[in-house]
Every structure is written in C-alpha cells, then in structure tokens.
Structure 1
Amino acid sequence: MNEALLRSLTPSVLAVLVRRGADFAAAEDAVQDALVEAVRVWPADPSPSSRPRSGKGDPIRDPKGWLVTVAWRKFLDATRSDTARRRREYLVDEEPAPGPVPAVDDTLQLYFLCANPSLTPSSAVALTLRAVGGLTTRQIAQAYLVPEATMAQRISRAKRTVADVRFDRPGDVATVLRVLYLVFNEGYSGDVDLAAEAIRLTRQLAPRVDHPEVAGLLALMLLHHARRAARTTPDGSLVPLAEQDRGRWDTRLIAEGVAVLQAALARDRLGEFQAQAAIAALHADAPTADETDWVQIVEWYDELTRLTDSPVVRLNRAVAVGEADGPRAGLSALAGLDAALPRYAAVAAYLHERDGDLETAARLYAEAAHKAPHLAERDHLTRQAARLNTRRCR
C-alpha cells in the first residue's frame, strides 16, 4: 500500500465530496472509510511502479477516481441510514457515475476551512492534520501524547464546528499560516514527525497562494529544521545553539531556505515570518557561534518588533542585544518585560551568567527549570543551575 500516495490524495478526495454537497464531517468520515478500504485492497508494494489494484485484482488506473467513488458510496450508505435522510435525499438520488474525476484542486479551500477562526488553535491543528495531512486519529493522538479517544472527541467537535461553513468562503491566509506554524512547533514525537509534516503541508500551500508570507513561513521551517540533527545528544539532552556541531546542519535545507527567503524578500512585502526566517538565515550563515552577526540580528528583531509588538519577540531581542552590546545592555532590554513570560527566567539567567553574577544566574536557572513545559528543557536548565552552583562552591 502506497501510504504517500494515499496521503497526497486525501485532501482532493475530501474536497470533491464537499463540492458535491456533503457536509464536512460526513465527507471526512467517508474519506477515512475509503482509505481503510484502500489499505485493505491496494498492494503492499510502495514503489512508484506499483499500481493499486481493486479487490478483484484489476489495476486501478485512476487512484483518485477510485477513492472518490468508494468514499462517495460510503457517504451515501451513511446518509441512507441517517435520521436526516430526507434532508439529503437529493444527494442519494444523484450518485455520479464512476469515471475520471475532474481535475479541480480544492486543497487550498480545505486549509481555510480547517483554520476556521471559531476553532481553538489545537483543534484547528488536529483537523488540518486529519483532513489535509491524511493522518489517522491514532497518529495525531500519539503526536500530541494524548489518548486516542480524547483526540477523536477533539476532531469530532472541530468537524461539527465547520460543518455548515461554506466551502467557497474567502480564506484568511494569516490564520492558515498560524495553524501550520503551530503544527511545526509541536516538534517531533510518536510515529508522526509534526515538524516534517508541517513542511510538507506548507510546500503544498506555497504554489497555491500568491503571498510572500507563505514563502517566509516555508523558509523559516526549512532553516530551523536544518539544525534538527544537532539539537540533541543521543540520550535526548538539549544542545544550545552556540554549542551545536554545525557540521551536522543540513546544508541542502539551508540553501533551499535561503533561496526561498530571498525570493520572498525581493517582493518588498515584509511580514513576521520573513523577518524570523532572516534571523534564522543569519544564524545558519555563521561558520561558528562567535562569527554570528548579532548586530544585524538585532536589526531584524527591531523589524519584527515593529511588525508584531510581541513580548516574546522582545524577549528574544534582549538575548540578541546581550550578544551584540554586552550582557548589561541585554538585561536593560529585558527590564521592561513581564517576568511571567515563558522563558523569561532562562533568558535572565543566561544574561546574569554572562555578566558574572553566578548566584543570581543559578537561582534563575532553577526557577526556569521548575516552569519548563518539557522534560528535555527542564533537565537542561537543571544542569545549568547545578553547573553554576558547583563553580560557586570551588
């Protein structure tokens, strides 16, 4: 069974059913049933030369058409047994004849539908992964480290929320990009690599939306993903950016990310994802941590602050200022921010350590470890506190 083919066809098959009049929730259920059927009858050989075959062993020359036909029949079967049959009778009586499916790509509308503003961010992400990414509920649940039943309920609620939304409504690109960014930031867990999945989905979106921020997001993802192999040790411990083995960075992804970013910046329509990607590109361009162009990074953070006025951006800017102009300048930039911000204590600890105040730095590292949301980050910050306490006792 060619899983990559199934996943690539999932959004367009779902879009065909919605176009024909099925509500989103029922259409999505029918498509999932069709995928299960495909897994059962298509061959196990994933090679491109392997053609799917029907249950009778005949070659399936149009996999998308096969999935649409099966999914539509699954939908009709469910509709016939539904208590709302009379409201949908016109659909039952008008089953399209099997045959080639019109070459209409509605994938983009599915992005906008799944990123409906009425959904919570976590629900929008889950629905996007299910409907556009083609992941199963079990895979999404594993990625989020929650029980499958919990994720099933979340997806069901999200589907009900968008059930009556017009399929052809105008889409909000910013909302779609925010959902994809959230998917990317979920990282890597379970048997689904959400960072790689977000890149795959954004690659699908990029040629369909004429907006430089789509390219900016793709560039940002590629540049961050390029450092993945160097971010942790074999035992899972975090490795700070300055200590990473840059020889393990993926130069192919870096080159692609820089090229995508340059093309986006050339359009002179700067957005926050482009600015973040520019910062990531400057880190990627430095042969060593000591050769990082922190002055230019501060300038990009100034642009990013102007675009977003985000406290988190200001927090990261304080780190850059501390590198460019010294730890005292970094602490000064930090002074006006809310100490309750995520990572505030960790940033303050780093700057105080660089300024020579090891006692304050150790206390702040311990405080940051207590607040850390992930085990790897907590362990890293705890080690930093222990390291400084050991130095102070010598």
Structure 2
Amino acid sequence: MTMGAAASTASDGLIESAYREHSRKVLATLIRLLGDFDLAEEALHDAFVAAADRWPREGMPGNPSAWLVSAGRFKAIDKLRRRARFNAMEAEIADQLTADAEEGEDMEATSIKDDQLRLMFTCCHPVLPQPAQVALTLRELCGLTTEEISRAFLARPPALAQRIVRAKARIREERIPYEVPELSALPERLDAVLRVIYLVFNEGYSAHSGEALTRTDLSGEAIRLGRLMLDLLPQAETMGLLALMLLHESRRPARTTPDGEVVLLANQDRTLWDQALMAEGFDLIDRAFATRQIGPYTLQAAIAAVHARAGTAEDTDWGEIVGLYDVLMRAAPSPVVRLNRAVAVGMRDGPRAGLALVNGLIEEGNLADYHLTYAAQADFYRRAGETDAARQAYERALALALQEPERRFLQQRLRELGDAP
C-alpha cells in the first residue's frame, strides 16, 4: 500500500468513526434548528462531506458534534438561499436561520444530548399512529435502515418507508414542537417511548440479519436512552425496562465464541457475565416491585433475573419462570410470550410438554414465519428422540433465519442429527 493510499484509508476510517459516534446526535440538533427532517438529513450529509474534506488536513476539532452542527446549519442556509430564486418563502426561512445562528447558541455536549430526548418525544407525539412513532424514531434517532425497521415490524420495506414519510409530513403540517413535554403530559407519552427503546435494544442484542449476532452500538444506545428516561421519569416500567436491558447486556461477553459463533444460555461461561450490570439490574427490579405498579417490562426483567441468579444452568428455577410468564400472559399476552412460556414449560416438565404448546402455536398460524418457533420445535423433537421431525423443523428454521451466526448454529444442529435416511 502506498503512503497516499494509507492516508486515504486512515481519513476514511476517521470519518466513518465520527459518523458512528456523532451522526444521530448531530441530526437531532439539526432537526430542531432547521425544523424539517429532510432538510436536516441533507445538512447532515453535507456536514460530513465538509468534514471529510477538512478534518484529514486540519485535524478533528475538539468538539466534533458542535462543528458538524454548525457546518450543517450553514450548508442548509446556503441551500435555502439558492432555492429562494424559485420560492420566496425559502429566503425568509434562510434569514430566520441566519439570525438564530448569529445569536451564538450554545452547542455544548449537554445541549446536543438533550436534543435527542426532544426528538424522541417529537417522534412519539400522540397525533402520530404508534407504529409510525416507533418507525420514525428508529430511523431518525437511532439510524436503523428501513429494512432493519421493517423486520422489527414484520412489514414490507416500501410500506414502512411510506409510513415514515407520512409521519414526517404530519409533524410538519401539525407544527409539532421539538421539546420534552411538561411533566403532567409525560406518563401518557411514556409507553411509545419505552417501546422504541425496547425495539432498539432488541435489534442490538440480537440483530435480525447480517454477519454478527449483536450490534453493540444499538444496545448501548438503547441503554443510554433508558438511563435518560429514568432520570426524567423514574416510574416502575422505566426501571423495569432498564433492568431488563442491563441483565441481558450483562450476558453479552458469553453469548458468542471468540470467532463469533452462538453459545446457548445453558452452555455459557457464567463467570464472564458482567456482575456490575447484573447488580444494577437487580436493584432496579427491587425498586420497581416496591412501587406495586408492575408492568410487562418489569415482569420480563424478573424472568431475566431468575436466569442471572442461577449459578449454573441446572440451578435455574424453571417453575418460577413459568409462573412469571403466566402473570406476563395476563398483563401483555402475545404469541412471542406464549412461545417463550412454552420453552420454559418444556424445560420444567420435559420436551413433550413444551412440544405440545409449540405445535399448538404453529397450528393456529401464529409465528408461522418466525424462525425461532421452528428452532424451539426442533429442539424439543431432538430431545424427545424424534430425529426425522427434528431435522424437518431445523430445516424450516434455517430457511427463515437471516442472521449468519444463527444459520451456522442451525446447520451445526442438522449435522449433529446425521444424514437423512
């Protein structure tokens, strides 16, 4: 590699790293300053183009986020002035943005961080349908692609993209403010915000597709947002969701081998689990239960805590887990909760008990396109000694799985079953 090529590679890495670290924070501030999602996204792109030109020569500034916000804002003003030849309103907007910029607004890191919280509540405004709230926040605040979000929603990407476009238009037409609601309005807005955080964490903890099992950037972002929400509104379900995320995150070091292969919970080296995250999660669960306002996130956290407290897989109290799932089924019934409960029943009462419940779900048509349904079915058949049925179920799971480590795990299970007769 020549010196010029090495320098180019290093500068590309600098910009890519800066984009990962700063882009969502900068976009949130640009959306507030410019008052328009699409203009802010264009400004973000232009700011990073400018950074790619200047930073390799001049060095990264001391406050990269503030530099990018400033560059993006003035790029947007220039763009509006060029458009003013065709639309006089663009000139008025450019003049107002220039006046705001000349006031010398503080761009400290705290201010930019707060803009992410403002944007979250804007995207989760009650005038928007809840699916649009979640999709828009995942796209704008967390940077998930339309394809990633569509998998979380089990929706087609074109339909999901239209949902996001309509949500942006609604915010513009309704003049929804970029602000954190008054304290009296926070509780009614909390459910949508927590659901967004939950989906972001899930995508980070177990990516739906791709080469890696996890995306630490997304799970870390979700935990950070969870902490922000806890500071703002320390209600039981906020505590429960943060506890749930921390307990799952504590197991990350043990979930894969050094070369990225899946390690099932029963086979994980529990000495690798993060004890500090576990302790924080346990404390939050205790605080949530003390309120006596126990919701679905707190119940899921309590289930995770039973796993976390077991010294070995054999020590797991599956009876307690089934009992907690019974309560969760009453609080927030769903096919996925039923599937998880079926797995717990199979661990408590044997594979045929679990198999009966999973087969019932499949016969009803629930989760017919969910690879983990067939993976659970296959594992119960395998444990029950029904090799041919297990092979068919693993093949069905493999056909539906999109994540490469999971696909390799399922292929390994098939190899372990031997050749079909």
TM-score, shorter chain, exceeding 0.5: yes
Partner of residue 180 from structure 1, selected from 181, 191, 197: 197
- Match for residue 338 of structure 1? 362
Report the Cα distance in structure 2 between the residues aligned to 1:175 and 1:184, rounded to whole angstroms. 14
Q: CA RMSD in A?
A: 3.9
- Match for residue 30 of structure 2? 14
Amino acid at match of 1:357: E
The number of aligned residues is 363
- Match for residue 213 of structure 1? 237
Amino acid at match of 1:379: R
- Match for residue 378 of structure 2? 349
Amino acid at match of 1:388: L
| 1:18-55 CA distance string (max 9 Å, x none) | 5xxx333324443554566567469747xxxx8449xx
Report the Cα distance in structure 2 between the residues aligned to 1:306 and 1:128, rounded to whole angstroms. 32
TM-superposed deviation, 1:202? 2.6
Report the Cα distance in structure 2 between the residues aligned to 1:307 and 1:217, rounded to whole angstroms. 15
- Match for residue 239 of structure 1? 263
Matches of residues 142-161 of structure 1 in structure 2 within 5 Å?
157=165, 159-160=168-169
Change (3 A) 1:367 1:35: closer
Contact 2:278–2:308 (8 Å) recurs in 1: yes
Question: Is residue 2:382 matched to residue 1:366?
Answer: no
Partner of residue 103 from structure 2, selected from 94, 98, 110: 98
Report the Cα distance in structure 2 between the residues aligned to 1:67 and 1:384, rounded to whole angstroms. 49
Question: Is residue 2:225 matched to residue 1:201?
Answer: yes
Structure 2 unaligned segments of length 5 or more: list them. Answer: 1-13, 150-156
Change (3 A) 1:8 1:315: closer
| 1:53-112 CA distance string (max 9 Å, x none) | 9xxxxxxxxx75x66655543333222222574335544444133335398745333113
Q: Please say which of residues 118-127 and 308-317 is displaced more in the overlay.
A: 118-127
Partner of residue 128 from structure 1, selected from 141, 152, 170: 141
Q: What TM-score comes out, normalization by structure 1 length?
A: 0.76
Report the Cα distance in structure 2 between the residues aligned to 1:108 and 1:120, rounded to whole angstroms. 14
Change (3 A) 1:85 1:217: farther
- Match for residue 225 of structure 1? 249
Change (3 A) 1:178 1:326: same
How high is the sequence identity, in percent, across the aligned residues? Answer: 38
Matches of residues 32-181 of structure 1 in structure 2 within 5 Å?
33-34=46-47, 40=54, 44=59, 51-52=62-63, 64=66, 70-82=71-83, 85-94=87-96, 95-96=99-100, 97-101=102-106, 105-115=114-124, 116-117=128-129, 119=132, 124-130=137-143, 157=165, 159-160=168-169, 162-165=171-174, 166-167=176-177, 172-181=189-198
Report the Cα distance in structure 2 between the residues aligned to 1:142 and 1:316, rounded to whole angstroms. 26
Contact 1:217–1:273 (8 Å) recurs in 2: yes
| 1:258-285 CA distance string (max 9 Å, x none) | 2223222322222222111111111111
Change (3 A) 1:129 1:328: same
Amino acid at match of 1:344: T
TM-superposed deviation, 1:142? 11
Amino acid at match of 1:347: A
Which structure has the highest helix share of the two? 2
Contact 1:232–1:239 (8 Å) recurs in 2: yes
Amino acid at match of 1:180: I
Question: Is residue 2:281 matched to residue 1:279?
Answer: no
- Match for residue 387 of structure 1? 416
Partner of residue 36 from structure 2, selected from 23, 27, 36: 23
- Match for residue 338 of structure 2? 314
Report the Cα distance in structure 1 between the residues aligned to 2:49 and 2:381, rounded to whole angstroms. 56
Change (3 A) 1:67 1:16: farther
SS at match of 1:205: helix
Q: Please say which of residues 308-317 and 184-193 is displaced more in the overlay.
A: 184-193
Amino acid at match of 2:76: F
Contact 1:331–1:348 (8 Å) recurs in 2: yes
TM-superposed deviation, 1:234? 2.9
Q: Please say which of residues 371-380 and 318-327 is displaced more in the overlay.
A: 371-380
SS at match of 2:360: coil
Amino acid at match of 1:25: D
SS at match of 1:347: helix
Structure 1 unaligned segments of length 5 or more: list them. Answer: 54-62, 131-136, 145-149
| 1:138-178 CA distance string (max 9 Å, x none) | xx69989xxxxx99x95984645643341258673222222
TM-superposed deviation, 1:12? 6.2
